[in-house]
Amino acid sequence: MLSWPVDPVRAVSARSVPESGGTPVAYEMKWDGFRAIVWRTTHGVRIQSRQGADLTRFFPDLLSPLAAALPAKTVLDGELLVWDAQRGRCSFWMLQRRLTAGRGLPEIVRKYPAHLVAFDLLRDGRGVELLDQSLTTRRAKLHRLLRGAPSQIVICPHTGDRAIALRWLRDLGVAGVEGIVIKPAASPYRPGSPMWTKVRARDTAEYVIGGVTGALEHPVTLLLGRFDDHGVLRYAGQTHPVKAEHRQDLARTLRGLPFRGPGAGHPWPCPLPPAWTGNFADRQPLPFIPVEPAVVAEVEVDTALDGPFGRVRHHGRLVRIRLDLHPNDVTTGYSAPRSTPLAH
């Protein structure tokens, strides 16, 4: 029997879209938001995070629309989103701002209203649990339930056509669609189980190396940045551990580049705060070795970008060093990343 908090079904990462092998599957857009389980009770609405935290107070603008759309006893699975009209895409950064805004929350809610994209129904309005029913059946009931729902609540687009899913993966990253999720059409809903597959849209982009973890002669990961309009190197993200075959050439390139900048030193605090790295789980700062921002790296990243300087939320993968590019050309207003055809 469902009870708060429920552990949502999980999605396992894959680098490319698998063939279905003749088994019917549903492809859904993967959004740049907060996973959420919505509980409609006789007393109102509660919103649960993927980790089981109560997010209700951070989304006051969704409580009335959800209460209007959902009968008591309903439980559904979905994604909380905030749309940044200026950038023309979903804003994970503005979602996070809600969690830390304190007294400023009403103003953020007013400027950046939230939406819920629903993609699964765990319990219907009669109190009947649907976990053992197929995804196809649950989706059909979700469509009937949300017919005529307020505009803040929509159903996640899905398709059974792999070619359409590949187009989503290729074309929609600019709007904040992180990728796609592949779900067996006949599958039940097993809380906490890795039953789905996710494929993120990935691009390559250029960044300036501003630091390394490990040692200069044996770099483990790279800390990446871009220059803003005032020439300040803004932190943009971190790579996964550099492959062994790249470390020797990288160490040779970075040799002699420990930071010798003027004034107070490197523009990034050392160690990096957890808020910079997104390391909220254990909240440990990240020690690193600052280097002169003189080398450009081409990095494979996904499309999840945060904040006004486009910080990459997930670790990237070093593709190559670009000695043909000047660091001053790599700015926060740099041209859009180039899509990498990983979906074929």
Residue boundaries of the structural domains of the chain: 10-200, 202-339
What's the pLDDT at 109?
A: 95
Q: How far apart are CA 201 and CA 30, in angstroms?
A: 10
What's the pLDDT at 322?
A: 83
What's the pLDDT at 279?
A: 56
On whether the 10-200 domain is CATH 3.30.470.30, my answer is: yes
User: Distance of CA 169 to CAs 123, 127, 302, 342, Å?
Assistant: 30, 36, 11, 9
Task: Give the architecture (CATH level 2) of 202-339.
Answer: Beta Barrel (2.40)
- Per the DSSP assignment, residues forming a β-bridge with 207 are 297
User: Distance of CA 82 to CAs 88, 89, 161, 305, Å?
Assistant: 11, 9, 28, 13
The helix/strand/coil state of 17 is: coil
What's the pLDDT at 28?
A: 96
Q: How far apart are CA 79 and CA 35, in angstroms?
A: 5
- Contact present, 11 and 143 (Cβ < 8 Å): no
Q: Which residues of the chain have pLDDT under 50?
A: 263, 334-344
What's the pLDDT at 247?
A: 87
What's the pLDDT at 337?
A: 44
Amino acid letter at 79?
E
What's the pLDDT at 43?
A: 93
Half-sphere exposure of 229 (CA within 13 A, CB side): 2
Supply the pTM of this predicted model.
0.70
Fold match between 10-200 and 202-339? no
